[in-house]
Amino acid sequence: MHLLACADKFRGTLDAVGFAAAVAAGAPGHEVTAQPMADGGEGTLLAFGGANRSTAVTGPLGTMVDAGWRLSRGRAVIEMAQASGLVLAGGVEGNDPMGATTAGTGELIGRAVEAGADEVIVGLGGSATTDGGLGALRALPSPSRLKGIDLVLACDVETRFTDAARVFGPQKGASRAQIGLLTARLERLVEVYKNEHGTDVSELRGAGAAGGLAGGLVAAGARIESGAMLIAEAVQLYDQIEACELVITGEGRVDATSFDGKVVGTVVDLGQAAERALLVVGGVVDDVARVRLDDAGVGWVDLSESFGADRAMAETALCVAESVSGWLSR
């Protein structure tokens, strides 16, 4: 049997490449094609083949960091987390929610343009920042340098620009008082972007992604796309699905949001359109997702239920391999 392994990351335990390897380990004698997936967050680079370049840029707290990115056939792929991510800031405890900057992401975009990219895809997940993209805009090449560049933002949220601090600020270490200050700053930036760029980002869905970076880059001419579908189209996922007999996807937690522009929902939709068998593997599959998958005739495995939560977290790859093996032997 020809299997296609095309999952998102299991956050903190298994990346999408590791998932594909686990599927292969659980399917000896079968042909397994690996296509790592992402929805615009961490793992976006892996979906395109991984970083093949590295550039020193300004990190979220102002110190220089080495940021990996990819350039191939005129298409650059950037994960903003590589330049402006919360992990680089030392996590919630080490972050400066008020001062964290997206300057490094703007510098990476500029480097990609200098290197000859005519399409730049920016994954927006994992940010330390709530600067509304102002740091990135100040670091971008001049508007004339961006002319003719297709700047695309891979996004998995619909948060509005001025809601970014309220929705995401606590995850970045912002106190209630800081959230109020950050929101006021975002509200001022709405007017700045109107006056300087002629763009109103206030009601644009997704503009609040990455602490408003999405809105700032839209003001500079970018467009927001659903991350999972953008990546699926870029890697020709539908064609890969048609070429296989069983599609195996998954993520750490499968719930209602998994079907709202995320990897699992996107793969399920494409798999059903191609009339292929589907298996969803989740670290946890909640009740809402179970009903939805059952109604769609899609198989699923809950690793925590099958192996216990502790083992599912500690030995995720082995649990995936055993689940696939068991499923294939049914």
CATH code, domain with 165 = 3.90.1510.10
What residues have CB less than 8 Å from 261, skipping those under 6 apart?
39, 156, 226, 227, 228, 229
User: pLDDT per residue over 11-26, tens digit each?
Assistant: 889 999 999 999 999 9
What pLDDT score was predicted for residue 330?
Answer: 87
Domain boundary among 195, 228, 261: 228
User: Residue 195 class from Cβ within 10 Å (0-12 exposed, 13-18 middle, 19+ buried)?
Assistant: exposed
Domain count, the chain: 2
pTM of the entire structure?
Answer: 0.93
CA-closest candidate to residue 238, choices 269, 277, 259: 269
Q: Are residues 29 and 71 in the same domain?
A: no
Q: Are residues 110 and 154 in the same domain?
A: yes
Q: Which residues of 265-274 are buried (b: 16+ CB within 10 A; e: fewer)?
A: bbbbbbbeeb
What pLDDT score was predicted for residue 42?
Answer: 87
Sites in the chain below the pLDDT cut of 70? none
User: pLDDT per residue over 185-218, tens digit each?
Assistant: 999 999 999 999 999 999 999 999 999 999 999 9
User: pLDDT per residue over 25-34, tens digit each?
Assistant: 999 999 999 9
Q: What is the DSSP string of 315-328?
A: THHHHHHHHHHHHH
CA-closest candidate to residue 204, choices 257, 172, 260, 157: 157
Query: Measured between alpha carbons, how far is 256 from 133 in angstroms, rounded to an integer?
Result: 29
Domain boundary among 187, 203, 228: 228
Q: Are residues 146 and 250 in the same domain?
A: no
Query: Measured between alpha carbons, how far is 140 from 8 in angstroms, rounded to an integer?
Result: 30
Q: Are residues 7 and 108 in the same domain?
A: no
Tally of residues, the chain: 330
Q: Are residues 177 and 50 in the same domain?
A: yes
Query: Measured between alpha carbons, how far is 164 from 183 in angstroms, rounded to an integer?
Result: 8
Residue range(s) defining the domain that contains residue 180: 44-228
Q: Are residues 66 and 214 in the same domain?
A: yes
Q: Are residues 75 and 160 in the same domain?
A: yes
What pLDDT score was predicted for residue 93?
Answer: 97
Domain boundary among 204, 228, 252: 228
What pLDDT score was predicted for residue 143?
Answer: 85
